Amino acid sequence: MTFQLADAEQALTTARNHINLRWYPRFHLAPQAGWMNDPNGLVWFDGWYHAFYQHHPYSTQWGPMHWGHARSRDLMHWEHLPVALAPEGPEDKDGCFSGSAVVNGDELALIYTGHKFHGDPTDDDNLYQVQCLATSRDGIHFTRHGKVLDTPPGMHHFRDPKVWREGDSWYMVVGSREDDTGQVRLYRSADLHHWDDAGVLGEASKEMGFMWECPDFFTLQEKQVLIISPQGIAARGYDNRNLFQSGYIVGQWQPGEAFTQEHVFAELDHGHDFYAPQTFTAPDGRRILLAWMNSWESVMPEQQDGWAGMLTLPRELNLTADHRLQMKPVKEVENLRQTWQRWAVTSLKNQQQCVMENAEATEVLLQWDTAASDAEQYGIALSDGLRLYVDNQSQRLVLERHYPQSGLCGQRSVPLPAASVLSLRLFFDRSSIEVFVNDGEACLTSRIFPQHRQLSLFAWSGSAHITECGAWDLA
């Protein structure tokens, strides 16, 4: 272990004994201490799921990026491993930025962005981002091989490589910025060490952002899916309400040909906190996604507690016949279930009814009969800080949080599904909620910071009817 990696581990050992656990997650992956952002290097290797992540072990603020590392047998119970990468070479002296992992024979290979400045770090003209390689036989200790792909001439923002195998070749997509236009650039290699330029895979139109971060590219249901996190998209009505977005484009591609877009960019998740999603293939063939359950410039109240940032639940992806990407929790989450509490509520009229006193690590199942419900608003509330409700006048499902003490107030929403039954699956952790609508038709993910955790059902200005409601305590 290098001195920088040893120093990082020592800092974490000291800091993790002093974090406040009031908002620290019970069943989501978060750093032991310090800062976390993008998930990196999601992969199955040697009997384990591995999740790496952008990490600053020395403080709860973003800083020179390291790669944190955890592994799991079941995607639910994570074991923290030593920090995998630290910014300690000429290629990455100012940060080991985001990237990916692939299995190459008996080796685990990390491909990541080396971040460095040649001069004044406040001037983008001095920024250089190159792609680097590190390998491991045991999946824990890594040998660095330095730069394997240089910055294109005249380009400064060139980061977040995602690598996959296609036939006899390796391919890599990299997010980039050409002047003020977001791009995804494509490269090809026979050995992970030497890369040839294969052109521009995708490029932003005028309204689609100045930088495309964290690209991912994969095949699902015989279509190709390009996931991007664009910066610089303006809000439009109910869409693109976060400062930075994450979404996908569906089309067709094969090696040597252009990517043909068949579906417009669509957001993956409609909550307040979802960014930099990345996917990998599980041993059984499922395409699984994790994302950072925050975003740039978000308020993060947990920083005062000695840690910052967490990842979403792992989600299985499915592509519908009309090119919509659906997400639902992986089946492994059901292994966390303990006691089932059925709530004895079938209808509500101009009232609020408490159904649970302490929703700290809880999965809620809730079905509303929308055809038979005429209340102007009906839904579920977590004390006085969070409401998830149907707005019958706008015909939308609204996620509303109200934490003025943290500066976190506002709404996100999706259209009501056309079906007469609204099926909701909610996951409450200490400082998060993830909402899955009608088995993945829509998702809303947000950070929450409750002082109290009482769950209530309500209906105002009319009545609402429930066909199923209850909750699982989660281990």
Q: What is the pLDDT of residue 55?
A: 98
Strands 181-189 and 325-329: unpaired
Band (pLDDT 50/70/90 cuts) for residue 2 is confident
Output the CA angle 262-263-265, nearest 5 degrees: 135
Answer left, alpha or beta for residue 348, where phi above 0 means left and psi between -120 and 50 means alpha.
Answer: beta
Specify the pLDDT at position 395: 97
Would you say 44 and 72 are in contact if contact means Cβ atoms under 8 Å apart? no
Q: 38, 216, 305, 429: which is the annotated catalytic residue?
A: 38
pLDDT tens digits, 301-345: 999 999 999 999 999 999 999 999 999 999 999 999 999 999 999
Determine contact, residues 113/129, Cβ cutoff 8 Å.
yes
* pLDDT surpassing 90 at residue 1: no
**pLDDT tens for each residue of 20-52:** 999 999 999 999 999 999 999 999 999 999 999
pTM comes to: 0.97
pLDDT at residue number 274: 98
Cα-trace Rg, the chain = 22
Taking a C-beta distance cutoff of 8 angstroms, is the pair 42, 290 a contact? yes
The tokens for 328 are: 């639902």
Using a pLDDT cut of 90, give the percent of the chain over it.
97
**Residue 424: helix, strand or coil by DSSP?**
strand
Residue 180 annotated in active site: no
pLDDT tens-digit map of 331-386:
999 999 999 999 999 999 999 999 999 999 999 999 999 999 999 999 999 999 99
Where do the H-state alpha helices sit in 65-125? none
- Residue with the larger pLDDT of the pair 475 and 449: 449
Q: Quote the CA–CA distance of 14 and 16 in Å, as a whole number.
A: 6
Looking at the DSSP assignment, which residues form a beta bridge with residue 410? 401
Instruction: Indicate the pLDDT class of residue 219, thresholds 50, 70 and 90.
Output: very high
* Beta strand pairing call for 307-308 and 34-45: parallel
Between 95 and 124, residue with greater pLDDT: 95
